[in-house]
Chain A
Amino acid sequence: GIQVEQSPPDLILQEGANSTLRCNFSDSVNNLQWFHQNPWGQLINLFYIPSGTKQNGRLSATTVATERYSLLYISSSQTTDSGVYFCAVDSPYSGGGADGLTFGKGTHLIIQP
């Protein structure tokens, strides 16, 4: 099946800093989503971005489908940005009839005051 790799696995920054999180995937995708998992475990939708660039406030994302990677940018970090960020893809080659998302292992981001 498709492989999803996220980097870095851990990131510690001071409040106000900018950060870039990367997601590499091993095959063509129909769907790519970025999530933020809050301390209570809920996955919050950040972006649905199988290709192109989107922005939402301090967050933006770019997916270059032909080169099989996506980037999540966080500017002017706040302590509330802390948590785990997941990239997830849905491949046309999921196989086995399973069309759920395949998740990366996540980037654990800590923003210190």
Chain B
Amino acid sequence: DVKVTQSSRYLVKRTGEKVFLECVQDMDHENMFWYRQDPGLGLRLIYFSYDVKMKEKGDIPEGYSVSREKKERFSLILESASTNQTSMYLCASTIRDFHNEQFFGPGTRLTVL
């Protein structure tokens, strides 16, 4: 069965803190994605990775970085959290061909105070 997990369901951080959001998939998928979801704006792509140590910017990469040291793990990093990064963060993965079914993790609801 397909499984994507995220390290936290809820997270509260303070402005200026460095924040790590972790995503792990057990399907041996090559491609992994980070999205954020906001009321009125919907889901938007932040970054994606098509292989270990490879990364590509999505539509809204500003204020974020990513790390992919192992195939199964994709981390989203907020170098200095700000209140406008309060959001729901969703991780997804798919096999090498991008145009295939994406599977999502349960999401992390991040609040930055």
Q: Report the stretch among A59-67, A69-77, A92-100 that lies at the interface.
A: A92-100
* B contact residues, total (Cβ < 8 Å): 26
Contact B102 A33 (CB under 8 A): yes
Q: Are A86 and B104 CB-contacts (below 8 A) given A43-B90, A98-B57?
A: no
Binding stretch for chain A, among B11-19, B40-48, B65-73, B75-83: B40-48
Q: Which residues of A contact B107 (CB under 8 A)?
A: 40-43
Contacts A42-B104, A98-B56; is A104 near B45 (CB within 8 Å)? Answer: no
Does B74 have its Cβ within 8 Å of any Cβ on chain A? no
Consensus secondary structure, chain A interface: loop
Q: How far is the CA of A65 from the CA of B57 in the complex (A)?
A: 28
Query: Given A42-B107, A98-B48, do A30 and B102 touch, yes or no (CB 8 Å)?
Result: no
Contact check, A100 vs B103: say whether CB atoms are below 8 A apart. no
Query: Does the CB pair B99–A100 fall under 8 Å?
Result: no
Q: Please give the distance in Å from A13's CB to the nearest CB on chain B.
A: 23
| Inter-chain contact B57/A86, CB cutoff 8 Å | no
Pairwise interchain contact B101-A45, C-beta atoms closer than 8 A: yes
A90→B106 contact, CB < 8 A? no
Q: Which residue of B lies closest to A99 (CB)?
A: B98
Most chain B beta-carbon contacts within 10 A, residue among A33, A42, A104: A42
- In chain A between 9 and 62, which residues have their CB closer than 8 angstroms to a CB of chain B? 30-31, 33, 35, 40-43, 45, 48, 50
Which residues of A line the B interface, CB within 8 A? 30-31, 33, 35, 40-43, 45, 48, 50, 86, 88, 90, 92, 96-101, 103-106
